[in-house]
Amino acid sequence: MIGDRLQIGLAGLGTVGTGVYEALLRNRSLLEARAQISYEVRRIAVRDLGKPREVALEPGVLTDDWRDLVEDEKIDIIIELIGGTREAHELVLAALKAGKPVVTGNKALLAEHGSELFRLSQERGVPLYFEASCGGGIPIVQSLQTSLICNRVDSIVGIINGTSNYILTAMEKKGLPFHEALEEARMLGYAEADPTLDINGWDAAHKALILAMLAYGTPLSPDKVAVRGIESIDPVDIQFAQQLGYTIKLLVVIKRHANQKALELRVQPSFVPQTHLLSKVEGVFNAIAVSGDIVGETIFYGRGAGKNPTTSAVLGDVVLAMRECRLPDYHTGFHPYAEAMRVLPAQETVTPYYVRFRVKDCHGVIAAISALFARYDIGISAITSRDGADDEEGKHWNYLVFMLYECNFGQLESSLAEIQRLGTVLGEPMVLSIERMGMND
Ligand code: NDP
Ligand code: HSE
């Protein structure tokens, strides 16, 4: 039974937890009016009780054991902001079993354990809210579940990792080296505790799995996503992109192929035409283009990471939880409703490509590579080159770029394996898809 004052348990007082706690105090009268109930933050779980905190706390409110929140009968709602998947998994399971609605921003947890958690949430009738797990302050999770609910979703294409977009923008606009840009993103509170996930594409992949689940009705497992990150993007690729009329973005592409009863799901750095809205999304901003059979094309834009935007998403869910926990037979947490769809293997996906080689400075290189592409039935739309450098033995090499027409990725891989066996090609080529997205491209 909810008392006169709703009791909140907050797990995590880091970047987002601190923002949530501050906003619960700062906007109390507004939130209480909108939720139609007053509230109190009863306990807060952290890892290190001795750490200095940015906020003033009542004595006894902190604990270093999250079980104190779950086992406290007076606590009505749990906010999980500890991150990671092991303890967060235990915490969310325990909270749902204890009948306490959970608000989380933990996309890694949902990507890994979503099936189990949503099943439990459904069985017990205890909601699990997760607006902050995707797109920072952008209200995409609720939008897909409410305002856009009548649509068959044809595609979702977007930039959904703030850290990698911050890095790519800083490399392009300020000429910053990769690691300096990453350090700035960490200092600003955008990066994950382990930023490997931000740069290897997996944070975006976790969010893509959540978006696909919302759009197609069932959790999918992480092994279904083809994922590449931004770690190998070289400044020379950024310069070629600019020269050719594109911007490089870490894109999530989710597309329904109705004729094949399959879903395309990939995360990869891609060439986005400079005329497309997504190419203008800079720094920590995210944008998500959703195309539905009834609504047509929509685009959601906003800050994709950081303390305050994420706090806004968490508190949206908290107010929803405050309202709905007084309606025991009804909640708007996610209910799986569909069978899993087949996910297209990466080799079967089709786009145009940018392929950049390093080649020896000698005659016949372009002809030899072109002949091999032709053998695999891959058309070339343009070729450009740039002076490279001398190797350790004083022999000169150059950059050579091929812009390819649409081809199947499996075919491209086979052609590249042969091309790399040419004695004139040095190292691995850089391969980036070129996205065609409608809407001004
Ligand atoms: P932080 O690393 O800044 O904060 C984590 C907090 O959790 C810390 O207060 C830490 O305690 C506490 N904590 C960690 N493990 C435990 C544990 N086992 N028991 C109790 N407390 C624990 O993370 P963020 O605030 O950046 O992120 C939190 C969650 O929100 C993550 O799931 C993240 O993916 C997600 N998120 C983050 C966004 C962002 O922009 N930062 C945006 C959207 C989602 P202590 O302070 O003592 O170390
Ligand atoms: N590290 C994540 C990002 C936080 O940079 O997008 C928001 O989910």
Domain boundaries of the chain, sorted by first residue: 5-139+308-325, 146-301, 346-434
**Nearest ligand to residue 188 Cα:** 1
Catalytic annotation, residues: 207
- CATH code that applies to domain 346-434: 3.30.70.260
Q: What's the CA-to-centroid distance between 192 and ligand 1, angstroms?
A: 9
161 in contact with ligand 2, CB cutoff 6 A: yes
| Residue reference for tokens 């996309």 | 107
Pairing of strands 285-292, 153-159: antiparallel
163 in contact with ligand 2, CB cutoff 6 A: yes
* Single pTM value for the model: 0.95
pLDDT digit string, tens, across residues 202-214: 999 999 999 999 9
| Residue reference for tokens 């996205």 | 435
Looking at the domain 5-139+308-325, which fold is it?
Answer: Rossmann fold (3.40.50)
- pLDDT for residue 331: 67
Q: What's the CA-to-centroid distance between 416 and ligand 1, angstroms?
A: 42
CA distance 117 to 80: 14
Q: What angle do CA 102, 68, 8 make, to 5 degrees?
A: 40
Q: Whose CA is nearest to atom 1 of ligand 1?
A: 14
Q: What's the CA-to-centroid distance between 323 and ligand 1, angstroms?
A: 26
Q: What are phi and psi of 318, to 5 degrees?
A: -65, -40
Best residue for ligand 1 mutational test, from 10, 46, 102, 107 (most atoms within 8 Å of Cβ): 46
Q: What's the CA-to-centroid distance between 30 and ligand 1, angstroms?
A: 26
pLDDT digit string, tens, across residues 132-170: 999 999 999 999 999 999 999 999 999 999 999 999 999
316 in contact with ligand 1, CB cutoff 6 A: no
Spatial contact of 131 and 142, defined as CB atoms under 8 Å apart: yes
Q: Which of 13, 178, 175 is nearest to 81 (CA)?
A: 13
Q: Whose CA is nearest to atom 7 of ligand 2?
A: 305
137 in contact with ligand 1, CB cutoff 6 A: no
Which of the 8 DSSP states describes residue 365?
H
397 in contact with ligand 2, CB cutoff 6 A: no
Pairing of strands 350-360, 425-434: antiparallel
Q: What's the CA-to-centroid distance between 105 and ligand 1, angstroms?
A: 9
CATH architecture of structural domain 146-301: 2-Layer Sandwich (3.30)
| DSSP string for residues in 318-360 | HHHHHHHTTSTT---S----SPPPEEPPGGG-EEEEEEEEEEE
**Nearest ligand to residue 105 Cα:** 1
Helices 162-173/178-187 angle, 10° precision: 130
CA distance 112 to 116: 9
Counting as low any pLDDT under 50, the low residues of the chain are: 440
- pLDDT for residue 440: 44
- pLDDT for residue 407: 97
Best residue for ligand 2 mutational test, from 81, 183, 192 (most atoms within 8 Å of Cβ): 192
In 3-state terms, what secondary structure has residue 253? strand
Q: Which of 16, 71, 8 is nearest to 43 (CA)?
A: 8
Spatial contact of 395 and 361, defined as CB atoms under 8 Å apart: yes
305 in contact with ligand 2, CB cutoff 6 A: yes
Q: What's the CA-to-centroid distance between 45 and ligand 1, angstroms?
A: 11
